[in-house]
């Protein structure tokens, strides 16, 4: 469990990092928190010729609450985002989800942007980006592009970030007024990747009737499964919403696979249970908002 | 014993060292050593056609590559079968490096030595082994029926087959007794694989001294003395020229009692050949696929009982999955067969096991060593009987208990040590009474009803066990008091963090009447003690503890004799308090043990003040006697061995309350209670620590851990990502109560405590889930996904409710 040989680069500026990444092209890999990449190197599941370590790029360790949303720089650690009161006030779903990501020591190193680029179908943050309709900003020398969540997660461990590109930040939109969020999951052990998990967003109108209800599910497809259940809930107040039919609508959209920890049926069942719980929780928050 | 140390919750003396990074584990040693790495088989069953190392030769820093063909005659043989048994008619062991055929994923094929482990792994990756893939045999029931063979010369894949039978008092065989019983039940039980999984893997570091022609080997082992003998034998070295030391060891739990591991002979061999220090530190993936696993068994049970639940006859058939090899013999299924009886008097008993080869990692003892399976079988049986009769589960156990006045109690079987299975002491009814009180057994139905009214499901479970501990044949202790007054204790068996340094020091300090701080303890170092068996079977405290006590008594006797001379008193009038020999009832008349140590050696060069006061010209020597009298030895030291007639039998009972989520099927342990009897307690805090750790491992085995092999013999979860060892967050608070029925077999009246915690946990959790759900649980571990399936099967509904 030692990595194969690679060249190590430690750029001092974003510009230098972009140049290096452009130079090494498809032989390069960005090293952020290393919580996913280093195990893959050690198990020789990945063998990039070049590692471009971005940990010295303090200019990327940013966390800004902007008028439209929260912008998280590529070097902002899970823990930093999780603990920010300002972020929690602006976009509570980030903290709700981050508490379920791994363990504190891993959150001290792992980055939010790294987690998005890594695109693990069991990871929480891709679901958060998906349900909020956020985006990731990708850069290469001279160009920057923003890729919306809907197009960012392209497959199991695959994202729209191309070789040579650096994800510099991610953007999580603020909640509209009278909205609430929740994250519910079941993991085998505390802090494990979830067997199933649901991020939910519920928005109400001035009469406190449901106008938006959507969920993003983890571990039930190659990428977060985004389902709009506004219709299924009915244009009703939360107390009389048909959560069960919403949950059924979610289940119908999932195509989980069996693995050594759970059958596909169980995952689908859990997704229904969790969707209902998460939607109720989110609606309760919306009422309190 | 004057100093009250025995029985005190003395804090572990090793903890400050171990908790502040001052421990020295295998990989902390030998910073400049070359590194070894291994090419291991990626196939479960294959014939090696060719090994091509040419691409690896160019790796910078490569030192050597070895295959089976390079091995000298003694090493080219299969590794020893450590514990043969007449029933093990087809014992098979592996070669240190595979010869022709590999029989499980992970079997070592090529050894590479390089400047560091990175380069060694780079070279491994470039070595091409050409395999002819053979059909693997996976799963114990499949293997028992398969025409495909793991070893060509082992028909039916059956390595061993053993029947033990104890007739009833009336002379009925078990089958007759069952057929004649008012009630009979038959069922099948299934337990999956887990593994010891110490946080520190195996590791070996060898240094050859070419000038002295001696070998020193550090190895992360549970038995340094036996590794030493194995190395001397396999490398053809004189035993006195081989030293083996177990440094700090980060857990063993059984897997490190196996010896010699291929690496334990290959690394020293290469170190001698190359004249260089070599180290191999196992990584986690290697540990998963190339060390050892345990637990997997399929059991068929038939039981006959009367209206009170009294068992009249019990018949158990066990299929034991042995993996690819049997280096440690059939200890595990023997223990299962014999310890199955637990605290009960069974009318007539018949147990039969077949030990079956499969193309998977070999099976050797893991903490509990066959007992968790045994207890699962017996306790599930008790619960089945209770359910059938509509009786309270504790009442059924109670009627079957051996009574306190029936000890010593002969179960009529032959135990793991080859000696009769005779329980020394115990009080099972009292233990049950204490447990029921601790967990609130009698009031649980109300709690359950209250929970149900809130839409919650809770259940209570129980499990009882008896554990043979402190098996022989012997252990020794050496105790030396030096002229600075310090006490040096050594014993040959090894430590893996159990707290031996503390407990053995407590025993020595109490026996000798010296302050604890003056005692130091060394274990597992063959330079200090050459004869030992090892640390397993909850035997360290019983065996080495008693040996050290006996050695201390020898030293004390000598100290009192010398002090009696000096103080002109009779030895019988002396006591040792706080490191001073005093005349009873004569304050002021005393002599420090340090001075006694000086007096014990007639050669008194004046290295220090103490000695200066006692040189040959300082006193008035007796000219009519030689300085060292006949039958005497210079120095204040003693060595003794403890070799018991039989094992001691510790016992215990656990109960748990679990909650199952009606929607998600998650399983949570709300309370966990333990009543534990290991005879006299040397240190209750350490015993509790052992219980807590054991329960934690038991919870792993009950709810989280399994080795998932696919039909190709690939281990699908060979990492801590997917092998779910529980975290602290998954472990409940463990509530304990102690019962002490001293063992009549040894001077300290103690029994072993090391494995107890793990033994009944699967049985207890199964019992509790069954109670919560009203669904029979007959295989463990159980996951939420499996509970979900069981619920669906029970309700016959196929759609999922939300
Ligand atoms: C024991 C354990 C448990 C875990 N449990 C969870 C969990 O429950 N939920 C969860 O979501 N995660 C979990 N993780 C993963 C953790 O959250 C990771 O930190 C995260 O997935 C990746 O972030 P990182 O900064 O460590 O990325 P790295 O490991 O450094 O990189 C991961 C991948 O992303 C690429 N990458 C990273 N940053 C950039 C960038 N700025 N631009 C372009 N490419 C980039 C890398 O090249 C690499 O391919 C766990 C990890 C461990 C070790």
Q: Which residue of A has its CA nearest to B285?
A: A1
* Residues 114-143 of chain B whose Cβ lies under 8 A from any Cβ of chain A: 117-118, 121-122, 125
In chain A the domains, ranked by start, together with CATH numbers, are 1-52+59-174 (3.30.465.10), 179-288 (3.30.390.50)
Q: Whose CA is nearest to atom 4 of ligand 1?
A: A102
* Residues 705-744 of chain B whose Cβ lies under 8 A from any Cβ of chain A: 708, 716-717, 719, 721-722, 724, 726-727, 729-730
Task: Please state the rounded mean pLDDT for residues A255-279.
Answer: 96
CATH code 3.90.1170.50 for B33-134+196-290: yes
Q: Residues of chain B whose pLDDT is less than 50?
A: 1-3, 798-802
Residue B605: per-residue pLDDT: 74
Between the CA atoms of B227, B233, B238 and B240, what dihedral angle is there, to the nearest 10 degrees? 20
Mean pLDDT, chain A, rounded, equals 96
For the domain spanning B472-642, the CATH number is: 3.30.365.10
Query: What confidence tens digit (pLDDT) does each residue in B668-727 have?
Result: 999 999 999 999 999 999 999 999 999 999 999 999 999 999 999 999 999 999 999 999
B680 in the Ramachandran plot: left (φ > 0), alpha (ψ -120 to 50) or beta? Answer: beta
For residue B37, give both structure tokens. Answer: 């790495």
Give B-chain residues touching A273 at CB under 8 angstroms. 663-664, 802
Q: Residue ranges per domain, chain B?
A: 33-134+196-290, 297-471+645-801, 472-642
Tell me if domain B33-134+196-290 and domain B472-642 are identical in fold.
no
| Residue-level length of chain B | 802
Identify the DSSP state of B416. T
Q: Are B180 and B312 in contact (CB under 8 A)?
A: yes
Q: Whose CA is nearest to atom 2 of ligand 1?
A: A102
Residue B128: per-residue pLDDT: 98
Is residue A100 pLDDT above 50, yes or no?
yes
Ligand 1 nearest-atom number relative to CA A35: 26
Residue A234: per-residue pLDDT: 82
For the domain spanning B297-471+645-801, the CATH number is: 3.30.365.10
Q: A32 C-alpha vs ligand 1 centroid, how far in Å?
A: 8
Tell me the C-alpha distance between B247 and B27, whole Å. 10
Residue B1: per-residue pLDDT: 41
Tell me the C-alpha distance between B793 and B788, whole Å. 9
How close, in Å, is residue B709 to chain A by CA atoms? 10
Tell me the C-alpha distance between B772 and B376, whole Å. 18
Contacts of B540 (CB under 8 A, 6+ apart): B475, B493, B495, B498, B500, B752, B754
Give B-chain residues touching A276 at CB under 8 angstroms. 802
Please count the CA atoms within 13 angstroms of the CA of A23 that sit on its side-chain side.
13
Give B-chain residues touching A5 at CB under 8 angstroms. 118, 122
Between the CA atoms of A201, A202, A205 and A208, what dihedral angle is there, to the nearest 10 degrees? -150
Residue B619: per-residue pLDDT: 59
Q: Does A266 touch chain B (CB under 8 A)?
A: yes
Query: What confidence tens digit (pLDDT) does each residue in A122-134 have?
Result: 999 999 999 999 9
**Type and span of the H or E element at A195:** strand A194-204
Compute and round to an integer the Cα radius of gyration of chain A. Answer: 19
Nearest to A180 by CA among A204, A211, A207, A202: A202
**Percent of chain B scoring above 90 in pLDDT:** 92
Tell me the C-alpha distance between B356 and A106, whole Å. 42
Please tell me whether residue B31 adopts helix, strand or coil conformation: coil
Tell me the C-alpha distance between B724 and B703, whole Å. 9
Contacts of A134 (CB under 8 A, 6+ apart): A69, A128, A148, A149, A170, A171, A172, A173
Give A-chain residues touching B722 at CB under 8 angstroms. 260-261
Name which of A247, A248, A262 is nearest B785 (Cβ-Cβ). A262
Mutation choice for ligand 1 from A18, A25, A30, A137, CB with most ligand atoms inside 8 A:
A30
How close, in Å, is residue A4 to chain B by CA atoms? 6
Contact A276 B730 (CB under 8 A): no
Residue B615: per-residue pLDDT: 63
Task: Please state the rounded mean pLDDT for residues A149-177.
Answer: 97
Give B-chain residues touching A219 at CB under 8 angstroms. none
Q: Are B361 and B291 in contact (CB under 8 A)?
A: yes
**Percent of chain A scoring above 90 in pLDDT:** 99
Tell me the C-alpha distance between B432 and B415, whole Å. 25
User: A34 CB under 6 A from ligand 1?
Assistant: yes
- The pTM of this model reads 0.95
Tell me the C-alpha distance between B340 and B355, whole Å. 17
How close, in Å, is residue B119 to chain A by CA atoms? 9
């Amino acid at each position: 469990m030692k990595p194969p040989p690679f060249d190590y680069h430690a750029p001092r500026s974003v510009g230098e990092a972009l140049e290096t990444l452009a130079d090494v092209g498809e032989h390069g890999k960005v090293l952020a928190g290393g919580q996913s990449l280093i195990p893959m190197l050690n198990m020789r599941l990945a063998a990039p010729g070049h590692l471009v370590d971005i940990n010295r790029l303090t200019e990327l360790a940013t966390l800004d609450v902007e008028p439209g949303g929260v912008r998280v720089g590529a070097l902002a650690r899970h823990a930093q985002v999780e603990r920010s009161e300002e972020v929690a006030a602006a976009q509570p779903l980030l903290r709700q989800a981050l508490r379920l990501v791994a363990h504190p020591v891993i959150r001290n190193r792992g980055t939010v942007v790294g987690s998005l680029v890594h695109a693990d179908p069991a990871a929480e943050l891709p679901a958060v980006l998906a349900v909020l309709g956020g985006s990731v900003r990708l850069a290469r020398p001279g160009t920057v592009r923003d890729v919306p969540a809907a197009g960012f997660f392209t497959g199991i461990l695959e994202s729209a970030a191309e070789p040579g590109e650096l994800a510099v930040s991610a953007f999580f939109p603020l909640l509209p007024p009278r909205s609430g969020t929740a994250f519910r999951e079941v993991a085998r052990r505390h802090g494990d990747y979830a067997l199933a998990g649901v991020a939910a967003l519920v928005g109400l109108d001035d009469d406190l009737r449901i106008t938006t209800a959507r969920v993003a599910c983890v571990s039930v497809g190659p990428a977060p499964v985004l389902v709009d259940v506004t219709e299924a809930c009915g244009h009703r107040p939360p107390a009389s919403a048909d959560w069960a039919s919403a949950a059924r609508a979610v289940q119908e959209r999932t195509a989980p696979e069996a693995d050594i920890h759970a059958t596909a049926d169980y995952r689908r069942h859990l997704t229904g249970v969790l969707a209902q719980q998460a939607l109720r929780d989110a609606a309760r928050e919306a009422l309190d908002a | 014993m004057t100093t009250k140390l025995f029985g005190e919750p003395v804090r572990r003396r090793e903890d400050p060292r171990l908790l502040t990074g001052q421990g020295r584990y295998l990989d902390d040693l030998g910073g400049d050593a070359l590194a070894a790495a291994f090419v291991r088989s990626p196939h479960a069953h294959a014939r090696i056609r060719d090994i091509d190392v040419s691409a690896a030769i160019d790796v910078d820093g490569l030192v050597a590559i070895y295959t089976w063909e390079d091995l000298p005659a003694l090493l080219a043989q299969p590794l020893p079968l450590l514990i043969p048994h007449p029933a093990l008619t087809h014992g098979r062991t592996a070669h240190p490096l595979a010869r022709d055929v590999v029989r499980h994923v992970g079997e070592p094929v090529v050894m590479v030595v390089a400047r560091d482990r990175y380069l060694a792994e780079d070279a491994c990756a470039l070595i091409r082994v050409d395999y002819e893939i053979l059909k693997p045999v996976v799963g114990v029931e499949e293997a028992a029926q398969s025409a495909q063979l793991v070893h060509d010369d082992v028909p039916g894949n059956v390595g061993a087959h053993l029947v033990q039978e104890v007739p009833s008092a009336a002379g009925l065989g078990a089958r007759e007794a069952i057929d004649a019983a008012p009630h009979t039940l038959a069922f099948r039980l299934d337990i999956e694989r887990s593994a010891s999984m110490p946080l520190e893997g195996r590791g070996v570091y060898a240094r050859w001294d070419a000038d002295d022609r001696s070998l020193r080997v550090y190895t992360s082992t549970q038995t340094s003395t036996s590794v030493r003998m194995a190395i001397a034998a396999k490398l053809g070295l004189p035993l006195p020229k081989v030293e083996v030391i177990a440094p700090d060891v980060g857990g063993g739990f059984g897997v490190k009692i196996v010896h010699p591991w291929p690496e334990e002979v290959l690394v020293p061999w290469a170190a001698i050949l190359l004249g260089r220090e070599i180290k191999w530190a196992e990584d986690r993936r290697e540990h998963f696929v190339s060390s050892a696993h345990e637990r997997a068994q399929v059991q068929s049970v038939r039981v006959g009982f009367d209206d009170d639940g009294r068992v009249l006859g019990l018949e158990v058939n066990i299929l034991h999955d042995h993996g690819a090899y049997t280096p440690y013999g059939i200890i595990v299924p023997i223990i299962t067969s014999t310890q199955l009886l637990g605290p009960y008097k069974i009318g007539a008993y018949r147990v039969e096991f077949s030990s079956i080869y499969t193309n998977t990692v070999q099976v050797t003892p893991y903490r509990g060593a066959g007992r968790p399976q045994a207890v699962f079988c017996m306790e599930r049986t008790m619960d089945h009987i209770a359910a059938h009769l509509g009786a309270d589960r504790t009442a059924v156990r109670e009627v079957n208990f051996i009574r306190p006045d029936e000890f010593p109690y002969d179960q009529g079987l032959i135990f793991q040590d080859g000696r009769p299975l005779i329980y020394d002491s115990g009080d099972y009814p009292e233990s049950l009474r204490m447990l029921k009180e601790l967990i609130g057994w009698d009031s649980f139905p109300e709690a359950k009803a209250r929970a149900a009214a809130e839409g919650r499901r809770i259940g209570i479970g129980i499990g009882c066990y008896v554990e043979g501990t402190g098996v022989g044949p012997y252990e020794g202790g050496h105790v030396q008091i030096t002229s600075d007054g310090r006490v040096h204790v050594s014993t040959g068996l090894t430590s893996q963090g159990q707290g031996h340094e503390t407990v053995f020091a407590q025993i020595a300090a109490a026996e000798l009447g010296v302050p604890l701080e003056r005692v130091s303890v060394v274990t597992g170092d063959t330079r200090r003690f050459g004869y030992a068996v090892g640390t397993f079977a909850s035997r360290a405290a019983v065996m080495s503890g008693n040996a050290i006590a006996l050695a201390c008594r020898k030293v004390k006797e000598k100290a009192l004799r010398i002090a009696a001379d000096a103080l002109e008193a009779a030895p019988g009038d002396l006591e040792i308090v706080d490191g001073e020999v005093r005349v009873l009832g004569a304050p002021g008349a005393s002599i420090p043990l340090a001075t006694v140590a000086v007096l014990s050696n007639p050669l008194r060069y004046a290295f220090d003040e103490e000695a200066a006061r006692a040189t040959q010209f300082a006193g008035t020597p007796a000219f009519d006697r030689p300085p060292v009298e006949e039958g005497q030895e210079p120095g204040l030291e003693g060595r003794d061995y403890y070799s018991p007639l039989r094992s001691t039998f510790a016992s215990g009972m656990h109960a748990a309350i679990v909650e199952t989520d009606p929607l998600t099927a998650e399983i949570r342990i709300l309370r966990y209670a333990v009543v534990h009897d290991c005879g006299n307690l040397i240190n209750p805090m350490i015993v509790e620590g052992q219980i807590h750790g054991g329960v934690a491992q038991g919870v792993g085995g009950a709810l989280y851990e399994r080795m998932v092999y696919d039909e190709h013999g690939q281990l699908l979860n060979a990492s801590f990502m997917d092998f779910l060892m529980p975290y602290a967050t998954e472990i409940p608070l463990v509530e304990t109560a102690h019962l002490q029925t001293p063992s009549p077999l040894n001077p300290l009246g103690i029994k072993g405590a090391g494995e107890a915690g793990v033994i009944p946990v699967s049985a207890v959790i199964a019992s509790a889930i069954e109670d919560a759900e009203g669904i029979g649980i007959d295989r463990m571990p159980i996951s939420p996904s499996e509970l979900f399936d069981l619920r669906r099967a029970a309700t016959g509904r196929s759609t999922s409710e939300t």
